[in-house]
Amino acid sequence: MIRKSLTPLSNFVFKPSVQVSSFAPSVWSEFSPLAMKHKSINLGQGFPDFDPPELLINALRRTLDQGGFHQYTRSAGHMRLVNALANTYSSLFDRQLDPLTEIATTVGASEGLFATIQSIVNRGDEVILMEPFFDIYTGAVLMAGGELRYVSLKERGARGADGARLASQWQIDWSELERAITPKTKMILINNPHNPTGKVWSREELMRLCDIVKRHPNIVLVSDEVYEFMTFDDAKHTRVATLPGMFERTVTVCSSGKTFSSTGWKIGWVIGPKPIITAIANTHQYIPFSVSTMSQEAVAVAFENAGKQGYYEKLREMYQGKRDRLFKGLTEAGLDPVCPQGTYFILADTSKIKLKGDQGQNTSITGIGKHLRDWNVCRWLTTDIGVTAIPPSAFYSDEHAHEAANYARFTFCKQDQVLDNANKALLKLNKLY
């Protein structure tokens, strides 16, 4: 028998904290579940559908067999990993990096960004993001009490000689950036190579950015470089921290999830000058305290061997092949794609798709984004064409979401057969235009 409670009706009322009150399920809660529900080919969320390289798997096996990596490790970073990172990145940064003070490991780049933003941004400080931006940045800024300001990357320049749209056409208006900077600006956050456009910032563009940043002694530049080893053709990835006068004011954020195709391991790191990395490492003590020891040991071993085994070249070659495969498919499906110089994403143009009635609106899992064309198109692509993409307005402020109306973002970090199946399914679009 269930006893009736003698306590009066509860007076408990839950209200989330003010700083998170605007948070709701994000684009990731909508599209992977929707793809699963409709058995659609998921070219939405960027995670490889293949296992990490043997280099990493063997390192993990050996680490497990060896034993002794099951307890907490050094909070600011497992020694073997920070040493391996200092060895790898010192040549890439053209300076000897101190593994103890200029590098800290984090729970993926996500926590790296979160800890960085909490360590730098005061209540009321302004943070400038370049739209479209990876969606996670806004949450971290709001949790720090910062104010968001936006500058847009827009498709501006000319197409390539062969008529293809190029990621390098996505450029910022420098005067717009200068106007966005105020005495309250504390941080500018860039992503290079850039998700979702696939742009790799040119050295000239970065020099121009740095000239502006260096005029403001309080501004820290955060450069999210998680796709650092995925660049194609002759695109050259310049690390903004290596430009004159920039190391002291730049935090570079990286992720082994991308480099070693292991997004679920959540191993990331931040690289920068001692005062900033010290602040981030101190903050990190109060977030996860430390990062998985076993995984850090394995990632360290992978880094120790990657260069010798030509791993980075193989990674580039694999992804360039996959990019070409999907790019061809999107072109043949009439989606006029933007050719990426880096990352594992392609933006495609959906303007020829004409949705009828409430197509794409009634299949929502989370109920969000119903009023936005790109969300409806991506839902309809999932349910009616069998291929899932991400609506890029998730990477814009509400105010500018309409700029993404005619785009969809497809990822090519999938097996070739899966890309071929997606390409075949997308050909159905040609009959519907």
Interface contacts to ligand PMP, rule CB under 6 A: 108-110, 134, 191, 195, 224, 226, 255, 257, 263, 266, 268
Are the C-beta atoms of residues 391 and 362 closer than 8 Å to each other?
no
From the list ligand GLN, ligand PMP, none, partner contacted by residue 45 (C-beta under 5 to 8 A by kind):
ligand GLN
Amino acid letter, residue 222: V
The reply to whether 28 sits near ligand GLN by the rule CB under 6 A is yes
The token pair at 162 is 């062969």
Least Cβ distance, residue 45 to ligand GLN (angstroms): 5
Least Cβ distance, residue 267 to ligand PMP (angstroms): 7
From the list ligand PMP, ligand GLN, none, partner contacted by residue 140 (C-beta under 5 to 8 A by kind):
none
The token pair at 95 is 């300076």
Closer residue to ligand PMP, CB minimum distance, 146 or 196: 196
Number of residues that bind ligand GLN (CB under 6 A): 4
Q: Site for ligand GLN (CB under 6 A): which residue of 19, 38, 45, 359? A: 45
In the chain the first and final C-alpha atoms are separated, in Å, by: 64
3-state secondary structure of 269: strand
Which sign does the torsion angle of CA 416, 419, 421, 424 carry? negative
From the list ligand PMP, ligand GLN, none, partner contacted by residue 109 (C-beta under 5 to 8 A by kind):
ligand PMP
Helical (H) or strand (E) element with 120:
helix 108-120
Cα–Cα distance for residue pair 297/396, rounded to 1 Å: 37
Helical (H) or strand (E) element with 389:
none
Closer residue to ligand GLN, CB minimum distance, 45 or 90: 45
Burial class (CB in 10 A: 0-12, 13-18, 19+), 51: exposed
From the list ligand GLN, ligand PMP, none, partner contacted by residue 228 (C-beta under 5 to 8 A by kind):
none
Closer residue to ligand PMP, CB minimum distance, 230 or 339: 230
Helical (H) or strand (E) element with 270:
strand 267-271
From the list ligand GLN, ligand PMP, none, partner contacted by residue 342 (C-beta under 5 to 8 A by kind):
none
Closer residue to ligand GLN, CB minimum distance, 263 or 283: 263
List binders of ligand GLN among 184-223 (CB under 6 A): 195
Q: Site for ligand GLN (CB under 6 A): which residue of 42, 43, 46, 82? A: 46
Angle between the N-to-C axes of helices 311-332 and 293-306, in degrees from 0 to 180, rounded to the nearest 10: 90
- With CA atoms as reference, report the closest residue to 304 among 344, 274, 262, 260: 260
Cα–Cα distance for residue pair 332/330, rounded to 1 Å: 5
Looking at the DSSP bridge assignments, the partners of residue 238 are: none
Least Cβ distance, residue 353 to ligand PMP (angstroms): 25
From the list ligand PMP, ligand GLN, none, partner contacted by residue 337 (C-beta under 5 to 8 A by kind):
none
Closer residue to ligand GLN, CB minimum distance, 28 or 93: 28
- With CA atoms as reference, report the closest residue to 289 among 59, 92, 106: 106
The reply to whether 406 sits near ligand GLN by the rule CB under 6 A is no
From the list ligand PMP, ligand GLN, none, partner contacted by residue 232 (C-beta under 5 to 8 A by kind):
none
The reply to whether 366 sits near ligand GLN by the rule CB under 6 A is no
**DSSP notation for 185-201:** EEEEEEESSPTTT----
Q: Which residues bind ligand GLN (CB under 6 A)?
A: 28, 45-46, 195
